[in-house]
Every structure is written in C-alpha cells, then in structure tokens.
C-alpha cells in the first residue's frame, strides 16, 4: 500500500535527522513545512518535501490535503483503558462533595473497578477495552501505553496482561503494555500490606516476566497506597525481571517518588501535580520523562502539574490522557493538547511536542514514532480544513481530525 499526500497546508514535526526527545527551550520550536507533500510505502515514511520540490510520484492512493494540516498521530504514554464497567456512581458522589480519598476509604475507587474486573470474563474485558481503543484511534492517537492494575489478584492481573497482548495483536496502533503491579491494597490485605507486597514481588512479577508481554512496571506511590519503601522493594523486584519503571508519583502528596524513580532509571514519572525543587533537581541530567495528566486534574478538580517549572528548568515534558474509569474517563488527546495550553500554560508548539515526540519517548519508541522522519512509522492525523495548527489546542473541545493513517493504512 502506498499513499501520497499533496498540497499539505502545514506538515508538522519534520526532522531530517531523527529526534527522540525535546527539552526546555527546544520545546518552543516546531519544525514545519508549508505547502508540502508526504509519501508513504507500507508502514513507513519514505519521502516528504515542499510542493515546489515535488516530482510526480506514482501511489495507489493520493490525498489532496489543500487547506489541511498533517502531523504525527498522538502518542498517549499513560492509560488504564483495560477496565470493566464504569464508576459513574462515584462521579455523582464526588459532585455531591465526596473526595477521591473519601470514596477510596469506603471501598470505592480502584477497589470498585477491581471487583468489577475480577467478575468479568477475559472475552468481555477485551470487547469493552478494544472499543475504547478504536474510539481513541479515530480521535488521532496512534500509540498507546496500557496498564494493568485493576486485577489486584495474580489471576486477574495476568488476565489483564493477556487482554493487553490480544489488543496489541489486533490493532494497527502501537501498544506499550505496563504491569501496574501495585495500584491499591486489596481489602483482604488492608491489615497486612507486607503480605500483599510479598505476593507482588514473589509471584506476580515473576509470572508477568515469564509472559514477556510487558517491559514496564508501575506503582502508585501515594499515601494510603504504596509508600517510598514499598516502591523501592517493588522496583528492585521488577529490575530482576527486566521491568523498567514508569511510575505514578506526586499526585496528592510528595513522598520522594521522583528521586527514587530517577535512581531506578525510570522511563517516566507521571502525575506530578505536586513538585518541589528537589524533584526538579533529581530530574536534571536524568533520562526520565516527566509526564503531566491534565485530564485527571480537570476531572478530579486537583492542581495541574506545574509544567512551566519543569520546561523552564530545561526539562522535557510529555502529556497523556490517564484514560481510566475513576479519575480521567476520557482518551481524547485533542482535549489534552488543548488543556495543556489552557491550564499548563504550554504554547501550542510545546503541547504538540509533548503529545508527539515526547509521548513516544515516554513509551521507549521515539526512535520509530512521533516525528516526520524518513524511515519512521507512518502514523498521521490529517486535520479538517483550518488556517493554522494553533487551532488544534485553541478549539479545545472540537475534533480536528478528518482522516487518520495508522501503520501506513488510511482509516
């Protein structure tokens, strides 16, 4: 299959030589070709340039993109889209004044989702989850990280991993599986967290490692969940089975998870609604990507990640949806890009960098995704007619997507 796109009003994120991460001041730049063409063969970017350099290319499909913008598909590096049912009841409880913590303390929250998932067949869980993935692909996402973490028993967590593997096999999008080995303490271990941690380190991690589905490990490091000692214990056990950390830290409290994540060569530290100077220092000269989740802050009404503090300190930033039934029931990366500008105060260029190349980095795939570079994967958004790419975050609740190309296939 070959696709030629011509008369592209603006082709975004063009890099002749591959870029795998964008930091600090560099995030303010977005390399653009005006009035461009793009040629794709199978699943790969073969050629691109401006129309005045263009020489006729034979292609099976030709798209005239006059007045429209073409950019790499969104790279959503933090989702929990494999889950059963929903938590709309809790949503109303929160509107009526209960906090996320109040609901969790009454056995709601993650434990509510775990009960539903334990009582849902693997087939049904797959059918519910693949629908969510198909929906976010239509909204422009081409690479998605998917976590476990709603099983909370060995069998249910491994069931989640098998569903993620089946999704990976059945979709054109890139899927990065993550073992969220420690998401919440099950009721039966409430008074014996140490026992649950032993189950995780001695049984879940080795069994998940043997399945060879996921290469990332995650822990929810938070008061009432897993503390900094638990985090170190679990990351060390993960390292034995070659799991690289991508961890939930600093959402409601600062427990030291950022520095510990950097110490364990975390690929990303996610949430960061709270940050102190020590966190910023720990991240400098590290290979760890800070990830902000503005959809969660929007939905829970909690602070937004101080993204300007991170970028102005010369650090990179990725943005992601956190798509999950409790704190962010939306996988719309277009909204996240809009929220990054409106609430994190990122420029449109910074937000697009954070949702493409840096999002790919936070999944370990920015050598193959996240920019228009010869030889990289052909995952693209072709927008509806618009005057400037700034309209993508500006029209924050609109859908800018007209057509998508995933793995070189026009959908």
Ligand X SMILES: N=CN[C@@H](CCC(=O)O)C(=O)O
Show binding-site residues.
78, 80, 87, 150, 183, 248, 251, 322, 324, 326-327
Q: Which one of residues 324, 334, 366, 383 is an interface residue with ligand X (CB under 6 A)?
A: 324
Q: Which one of residues 108, 177, 257, 326 is an interface residue with ligand X (CB under 6 A)?
A: 326
| Contacted by 325, from ligand X, Zn ion, none: CB < 5 to 8 Å by type | ligand X
Residue 45: both structure tokens together:
């970017």
Q: Which one of residues 273, 322, 349, 350 is an interface residue with Zn ion (CB under 5 A)?
A: 322
Return the number of the residue (147 or 376) whose C-beta is nearest ligand X: 147
Instruction: Please report the DSSP string for 302-348 in residue order.
Output: -PPP-HHHHHHTT-B-EE---BBTTTB----HHHHHHHHHHTT---H
Residue 220: both structure tokens together:
């929810």
Question: Quick check: helix, strand or coil at residue 14?
Answer: strand
Q: What are the Cα distances from residue 358, in Å, to 47, 302, 407?
A: 23, 24, 19
Return the number of the residue (137 or 296) whose C-beta is nearest ligand X: 296
Q: What are the Cα distances from residue 84, in Å, to 78, 176, 258, 299?
A: 18, 20, 30, 19
Site string for ligand X, 46-85 (x = CB under 6 A): ----------------------------------x-----
The site for Zn ion, by CB under 5 A, has a size of 1
- Of 16-24, 318-326, 352-360, 397-405, the window that binds ligand X (rule: CB under 6 A) is 318-326
Interaction of residue 248 with ligand X, rule CB under 6 A: yes
Distance CA 144, CA 79 (A): 7
Interaction of residue 200 with ligand X, rule CB under 6 A: no
Q: Which residues of 60-71 are buried (b: 16+ CB within 10 A; e: fewer)?
A: eeebebeebbbb
Nearest C-alpha neighbor of 366 from the set 189, 143, 44:
143
Interaction of residue 231 with ligand X, rule CB under 6 A: no
Question: Quick check: helix, strand or coil at residue 361?
Answer: helix
Is residue 319 within a helix (H) or strand (E), and if so which, with residue range? strand 318-319
Distance CA 272, CA 25 (A): 20
Q: Which one of residues 296, 344, 352, 372 is an interface residue with ligand X (CB under 6 A)?
A: 296
- As measured in angstroms, the least distance from the Cβ of 295 to ligand X is 9
Interaction of residue 273 with Zn ion, rule CB under 5 A: no
- As measured in angstroms, the least distance from the Cβ of 127 to ligand X is 20
For residues 357 and 21, is the Cβ–Cβ distance under 8 A? yes
- As measured in angstroms, the least distance from the Cβ of 268 to Zn ion is 11
Interaction of residue 356 with ligand X, rule CB under 6 A: no
Interaction of residue 76 with Zn ion, rule CB under 5 A: no
Per the annotation, binding residues for 4-imidazolone-5-propanoate are 87, 150, 183, 251, 327
Distance CA 198, CA 181 (A): 11
- Of 121-129, 251-259, 322-330, 339-347, the window that binds Zn ion (rule: CB under 5 A) is 322-330
Residue 38: both structure tokens together:
């793009």
Question: Quick check: helix, strand or coil at residue 50?
Answer: strand
Strand partners, 316: 23
Other C-beta atoms lying within 10 Å of the C-beta of residue 58: 8
Per the annotation, binding residues for N-formimidoyl-L-glutamate are 150, 324, 326
Site string for ligand X, 81-120 (x = CB under 6 A): ----------------------------xx--x-------
Please report, as ranges, the residues that interact with Zn ion according to CB under 5 A: 322
Please report, as ranges, the residues that interact with ligand X according to CB under 6 A: 80, 109-110, 113, 220, 248, 251, 296, 322, 324-327
């Amino acid at each position: 299959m070959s696709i030629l796109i011509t008369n592209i009003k603006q082709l975004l994120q063009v890099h002749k030589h591959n870029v795998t991460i964008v930091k600090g001041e560099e995030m303010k730049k977005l390399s653009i070709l005006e009035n461009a063409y793009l040629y794709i063969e199978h699943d790969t970017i073969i050629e691109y340039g401006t129309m005045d350099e263009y020489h006729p290319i034979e292609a099976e499909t030709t798209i005239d993109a006059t007045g429209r913008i073409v950019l790499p598909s969104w790279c959503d590096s933090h989702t929990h889209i494999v889950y059963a049912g929903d938590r709309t009841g809790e949503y109303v409880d929160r509107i009526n004044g209960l906090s996320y913590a109040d609901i969790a303390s009454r056995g709601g929250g993650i434990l509510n989702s775990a009960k539903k998932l334990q009582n849902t067949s693997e087939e049904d869980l797959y059918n519910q989850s693949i629908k969510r993935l198909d929906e976010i692909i239509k909204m422009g996402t081409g690479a998605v990280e998917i976590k476990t973490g709603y099983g909370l028993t060995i069998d249910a967590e491994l069931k989640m991993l098998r569903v993620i593997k089946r999704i990976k096999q059945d979709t054109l999008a890139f899927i990065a599986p993550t073992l969220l080995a420690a998401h919440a303490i099950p009721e039966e271990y409430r008074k014996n967290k140490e026992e649950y941690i032993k189950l995780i380190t001695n049984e879940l991690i080795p069994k998940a490692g043997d399945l060879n589905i996921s290469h990332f490990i995650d822990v929810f490091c938070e008061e009432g969940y897993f503390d900094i000692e638990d985090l170190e214990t679990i990351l060390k056990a993960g390292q034995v089975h070659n799991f690289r950390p991508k961890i939930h830290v600093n959402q409601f409290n600062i427990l030291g998870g950022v520095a510990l994540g950097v110490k364990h060569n975390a690929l990303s530290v996610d949430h960061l609604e709270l940050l102190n100077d020590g966190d910023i220092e720990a991240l400098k000269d590290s290979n760890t990507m800070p990830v902000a989740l503005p959809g969660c802050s929007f939905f829970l009404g909690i602070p937004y990640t101080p993204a300007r503090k991170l970028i102005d300190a010369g650090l990179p930033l990725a943005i992601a949806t956190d798509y999950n039934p409790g704190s962010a029931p939306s996988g719309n990366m277009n909204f996240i890009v809009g929220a990054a500008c409106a609430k994190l105060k990122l420029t449109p260029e910074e937000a697009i960098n954070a949702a493409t190349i840096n999002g790919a980095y936070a999944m370990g795939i920015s050598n193959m995704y996240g920019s228009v570079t010869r030889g990289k994967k052909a995952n693209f958004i072709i927008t509806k007619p618009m005057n400037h790419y700034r309209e993508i975050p500006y029209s924050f609740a609109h859908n800018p997507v007209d057509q998508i190309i995933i793995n070189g296939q026009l959908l």
